[in-house]
Structures are given as structure tokens and as C-alpha cells.
Structure 1
Amino acid sequence: MADNLHDRTGAAVTVSIDESRPVSAFIVTVADGSPAGRADFVDSPTVDQERIFFHTEVDREFSGRGLAGILIREALADSIRTGRTVVPVCPLFAGHLDKHGDDFVADGGRFRLPTKADLAVVRRATRAGS
């Protein structure tokens, strides 16, 4: 992931990826090592190189620091690096791509609108991860 990330307060943050569970996530961590938020995703079981982002949240105590935006930007940058197509089920991802999708594509990114089949994949994954 990218180095030298800072939130709106100027504090250093890191973003890592956890793919050890049925529902994987990008995790944002603050300087003291505390996890502050996550962007949950599942990789499509039927379409190679597609990643379905379905939930993003930041703990209330860290709200207002721009951490959700950092998570989204880092996840999208990773999708460009790894050649994955983004499927934005999460309203935050969808909103970001609605506003900045042309720039994302110009930088080499790919995304498509979610389908009912994508929602079914998310339902199955979240049940399996419970």
C-alpha cells in the first residue's frame, strides 16, 4: 500500500489488506496501531479479476478525519495495480466513482455497475463470514 498517508489532522495512517476471511477488507490504521475503519469486499467467484466492494465504515471516534476517503482511494489504487475491475455496491464507492470515475479510468482503472448476481455473491459471503 502507499506510504506517507495522512488524515485531515495531519496524523499518519496506514492502509493494509486482510484477505484471511471469506469477507476481505482494506483496513485503515492510525499512528498508535489502532484499526480505525475498513472497506469490505469479496472477489467474484465467477469472474476473474473482479472485486465487489459492499461496505465501508470508520469508527465514530475517528469520524471527520477523511479516513473513508483514504480507504476508497487506496482500494481503487490497488485495483489499478492488480488489474481488477471494481464493482461498487457500497454507496461510498459508488458515489466516489460517480464523481471521479473518468479520472479513475484515465489512470487505468476499470469498474462496472453491480448486478443482482453481485448482490447474491455478497449475501453468500457475509453469511459464510458470520
Structure 2
Amino acid sequence: MTQAAEPVVRNVDARHRYEILVEDVSAGFTAYRDHDGQRVFFHTEIDDAFAGRGLASVLVQQALSDVRATGRQIVPVCPYVAKFLKKHEEFAGITDPVTPEILQWLDTALAR
């Protein structure tokens, strides 16, 4: 029996998202926009074919670690990222609150 390859997380800056790949197949992503030294995460999605493997947690863990390495703050608009942060206090020092101003800015940035 062969062992499955570890998932790979990469930042695709041109698409404003981190993607998670399983054996070179895109399994999901967490989307963001950058604003004044903050990385505002607003949506996380794992393809149904990859559900139940804990990939969202791996994806968000590595994305937030990357944000920390760049010196930015995290703004968790995405419900999954917000839930993840409640269980992972090691990111508390780089987490900014979601404010009405951030939500308004995000709506404009996404042209909703």
C-alpha cells in the first residue's frame, strides 16, 4: 500500500488566495484581500471530493503562518477562519477585529 502524498499549500497572490493541493489536484482555497498591513480572509472552501480529511485546518494553519511571517495582521471575516482562531491562540497577537469599516471596505474591494 502506498502512502498518500502530504497536501501542499501555496499562496497564489495573483488570485488573492491560498490553495491546497492533494497530489497536484486543487482541493480548496482560502481567499483574501490585503488592506493597510492586514490580510482580510473572507472565504474558505474545500471541494466536496476532499471533505472530511481535515484539509481546511491544514490550509488555514499554513496560510496564517505565512501571514505571520510577512508581518501582516489577520482579519477573520471568513467564519471558518474565525472559528479556527478561537482554537489556535498562537495567532491572537496578529489578529485584528472585524469592524464595520473593514466589511464596507471588503464589499467595495470585491465590488459586491
- Give TM-score, length-normalised by structure 1: 0.77
Match of 1:124 in 2: 108
Given candidates 82, 101, 104, the residue that maps to 2:91 is: 104
Which whole-Å CA distance do the structure 1 matches of 2:41 and 2:4 have between them? 27
**What is the CA distance between 1:113 and its match in structure 2?**
1.1
Secondary structure in 1 matching 2:7: strand
Given candidates 13, 20, 23, the residue that maps to 2:14 is: 20
**Aligned residue identity for 1:30:** V
1:1-130 equivalence runs, <5 A: 11-21=5-15, 24-31=16-23, 33-44=24-35, 47=36, 49-101=37-89, 103-105=90-92, 109-127=93-111
Which whole-Å CA distance do the structure 2 matches of 1:95 and 1:40 have between them? 16
Percent of aligned positions that are identical: 37
Secondary structure in 2 matching 1:96: helix
CA RMSD of aligned residues (A): 1.7
Q: Point out where structure 2 has 5 or more consecutive residues left out of the alignment.
A: none
**What is the CA distance between 1:100 and its match in structure 2?**
1.6
**Aligned residue identity for 1:14:** V
- Give TM-score, length-normalised by structure 2: 0.89
**What is the CA distance between 1:92 and its match in structure 2?**
0.9
Relative to its length, the structure with more helix (as a share) is 2
Q: Point out where structure 1 has 5 or more consecutive residues left out of the alignment.
A: 1-8
